[in-house]
Amino acid sequence: MRNNDKSVHHGHRKRLKKKFADLGGGAFDDHELLELLLFYSIPRSNTNEIAHRLMERFGSINRMAEASSDELKLVDGIGDNSVALLRLVLMLAKRYANEERREVKRLNSIEAIVDYANFHTMGAVKELVYAVYMDENLNVIDTNLIASGTVNEVRPMVRTVLELCILKRSTAVLIFHNHPNGGVEPSRDDILFTKLIERELKMIGSDLVEHIIVDGKDYFAVKNHIKNTNWCQSH
């Protein structure tokens, strides 16, 4: 029976490797890519089950990337070799993504904005608020973290954004932040902050492009929501 199990695992691994070689990573779910990766640190065990346990514990590749070695080892089947492999591959992936994002010069579509926001908040376990300073053609001048943690002090954030906007001579500002606990619905403070920062930016000759809340593939455009809500209320 043991020899049969070994033969089954070997055949499965061979088929999975061939699928990757033929179709690339786009044909795989996240847990399948993890299963394939773990072949190289776990030579004999069923890595499919271990990959599922990793995804069940961390919920996403992003959150796994931020996990410590000790947290990874809490998953049954993950030892020192697997921890080293996972952390190395995830670090290489982050550096690759960072180099790609350095090439971003212009944020002139919602897709580009959401992708940019997700990169900067990837794996964060607390709320992060960023301001992106741009010129009139939406070319990026600079990106700054303006708040982190429990963000409920609206006016200090507005003051910070305005000061940096003047300093960088920016005529367009994008705000984005994440909701690490999931969901993209804006809070009362999110609405207040968006209204206030839009008004104050206009007073110094700049525009608020949008305030985006991101959570992976989901996003919420707060400025657009306010505009549409106000339009509905006035008709």
- pLDDT, tens only, 145-182: 998 876 666 788 899 999 999 999 999 999 999 988 88
For the chain, the straight-line distance linking the first and the last C-alpha, in angstroms and rounded, comes to 73
Give me the chain's average pLDDT, please: 86
Predicted structure pTM score:
0.61
- Domains, in order of start, for the chain: 2-100 (1.10.150.20), 106-233 (3.40.140.10)
* Pairing assessment for the beta strands 218-221 and 172-178 based on DSSP bridges: unpaired
pLDDT tier for residue 61 given thresholds of 50, 70 and 90: confident
Q: For residue 134, what are the β-bridge partners? A: 140, 172
pLDDT exceeds cutoff 60 at 233: no
Whole-number Å distance between alpha carbons of 2 and 4: 5
pLDDT exceeds cutoff 90 at 44: no
Whole-number Å distance between alpha carbons of 154 and 126: 17
pLDDT tier for residue 4 given thresholds of 50, 70 and 90: low
pLDDT exceeds cutoff 50 at 125: yes
User: Residue 9 has what pLDDT?
Assistant: 67
Q: For residue 147, what are the β-bridge partners? A: 129
- pLDDT, tens only, 68-98: 899 999 999 999 999 999 999 988 887 776 6
Return the closest-CA partner of residue 213 out of 182, 235, 234: 182
pLDDT exceeds cutoff 80 at 104: no
Structure tokens at 108: 């002139």
Backbone angles phi, psi at 115, to 5 degrees: -60, -45
Whole-number Å distance between alpha carbons of 38 and 24: 17
